[in-house]
Amino acid sequence: MFETAIAGSLPKPEWLAETQKLWPKWVPQGDALQRAKADATLIWIKAQEDAGLDVIGDGEQARQHFVHGFLEAVEGIDFDNKVTMGIRDNRYEAQVPQVISALRLKGRVHAFEAQFARAHTKRKLKFTLPGPMTIVDTVADRFYGDRIKMAMAFAELLNEEALALQADGVDIIQFDEPAFNVYMKDAADWGVQALERAAQGLTCKTAVHICYGYGIKANVDWKNALGHEWRQYEAVFPALANSSIDQVSLECFNSHVPMELMKLLEGKEVMVGVIDVASEAIETAEEVADTIGRALQFVARERLIPCTNCGLAPMSRDIAMAKLKALGDGAALARQRYGS
Ligand code: ZN
């Protein structure tokens, strides 16, 4: 009960990459970089296990960014000539690569880190991939001229890699779709369909992570402008409830998301955000257990997965470590409180 998991990313150590940045530059080069990625992955596997978490991730230590890490292995994308583009409905600007021809995978994308993580934990392993709609929102299109067509092209590639990750022994494959909370109508109209194409044929658990973004200033400012009640999830949850995806995440702690929206996810496992990624304050075990208790009004305890609101990548390593422990301790307390 209350199997704990993180959304995905964790901070990179300073000997691997620049710290507290969303698109950090790697510090070592060549073989040394590969070794450093593996070492960092090992540290975070151990930290998650020590914190008592049940579902372990690689902390995305081997990719520069959660979207571009996948795109680097895709043919048809020009990474040498990035352009500045407003993303997430112009909430912030990013340097994005351009799609210039038909898309194809150059080969495996995440074999190294998935197989490495699998070899070093006996617990359940979750692996994250960007969702098709969020990818489309994080590249400049110079070829397809149609967002849905391009999303479906990316979904096919994601599916190819997801099936290979499943064969590597990954237990849960999660697609990250923060764009679902930005383009709500599109998400319900075709985003979920593209997501299901990406998950087609998977027999392992599948998940979708939807959030209000990392705790960076542009996101915090955006959230402050969303009013006292955040109902973005309301548009896409019914479509997800009818989909083949097994697990759906939502932000809870310190957010203005009405908890009753979880009722729209009837039958799904719900990753409930009990850890705030936009605050450096460390949650107490009591606070985490309280959030779980409130969520229990709307989701059955066997379907409740205590989770972080989003990735912890831009935070400091010490704070991220402490937040992992708060998640583990809070879930343990909740098992005592609500176990019988
Ligand atoms: Zn997120």
Cα of 308 from ligand 1 centre, angstroms:
9
Angle at 108 between CA 106 and CA 113, to 5 degrees: 140
Cα of 142 from ligand 1 centre, angstroms:
27
Cα of 15 from ligand 1 centre, angstroms:
25
Cα of 31 from ligand 1 centre, angstroms:
30
Q: What is the pLDDT of residue 224?
A: 87
Cα of 11 from ligand 1 centre, angstroms:
14
**30 and 170 assigned to the same domain:** yes
Q: What is the pLDDT of residue 215?
A: 80
**169 and 217 assigned to the same domain:** no
Inter-CA distances, 61 with 11, 126, 286, 297, 319, Å: 8, 14, 30, 36, 17
Cα of 150 from ligand 1 centre, angstroms:
22
Cα of 250 from ligand 1 centre, angstroms:
9
**188 and 239 assigned to the same domain:** no
**190 and 234 assigned to the same domain:** no
**150 and 287 assigned to the same domain:** no
**41 and 123 assigned to the same domain:** yes
Cα of 91 from ligand 1 centre, angstroms:
15
| Pairing status of strand 92-105 against strand 74-87 | antiparallel
The 3-state secondary structure of 275-296 reads ECCCCCCCCCHHHHHHHHHHHC
Cα of 8 from ligand 1 centre, angstroms:
8
The dihedral sign for the CA sequence 258, 262, 265, 269: positive
Does some domain include residue 9? no
pTM beyond cutoff 0.85: yes
**153 and 214 assigned to the same domain:** no
Query: Structural domain of residue 214, as residue ranges?
Result: 210-340
Does some domain include residue 132? yes
Question: In whole angstroms, what separates CA 290 from the centre of its chain?
Answer: 24
Cα of 330 from ligand 1 centre, angstroms:
21
**246 and 303 assigned to the same domain:** yes
| Residue at which a domain ends, from 197, 229, 246 | 197
**239 and 100 assigned to the same domain:** no
Does some domain include residue 8? no
Q: Rounded CA gap, 328 and 2, in Å?
A: 10
**285 and 168 assigned to the same domain:** no
Does some domain include residue 1? no
Q: Rounded CA gap, 228 and 171, in Å?
A: 37
Cα of 23 from ligand 1 centre, angstroms:
15
Structural domain count of the chain: 2
3-state secondary structure at position 149: helix
Does some domain include residue 145? yes
**117 and 238 assigned to the same domain:** no
| Residue at which a domain ends, from 197, 230, 252 | 197
Q: Give me the average pLDDT of each 10-residue run along the chain (340 residues).
A: 97 95 92 97 98 98 92 94 90 91 97 98 98 96 96 98 98 97 95 98 98 86 89 95 97 95 97 96 98 97 97 94 98 94
**Which residues line ion ligand 1, judged by CB < 5 Å?**
211, 310
Does some domain include residue 83? yes
- Strand order from edge to edge, sheet including 247-250: 55-56, 124-130, 172-176, 205-209, 247-250, 269-275, 304-308
Cα of 340 from ligand 1 centre, angstroms:
32
Q: What is the CATH number of the domain that holds 336?
A: 3.20.20.210
Q: Rounded CA gap, 291 and 251, in Å?
A: 11
3-state secondary structure at position 125: strand
Neighbours of 235 (CB within 10 A): 18
**165 and 227 assigned to the same domain:** no
Cα of 147 from ligand 1 centre, angstroms:
22
Cα of 120 from ligand 1 centre, angstroms:
25
Cα of 206 from ligand 1 centre, angstroms:
16
The DSSP bridge partners found for residue 105 are 74
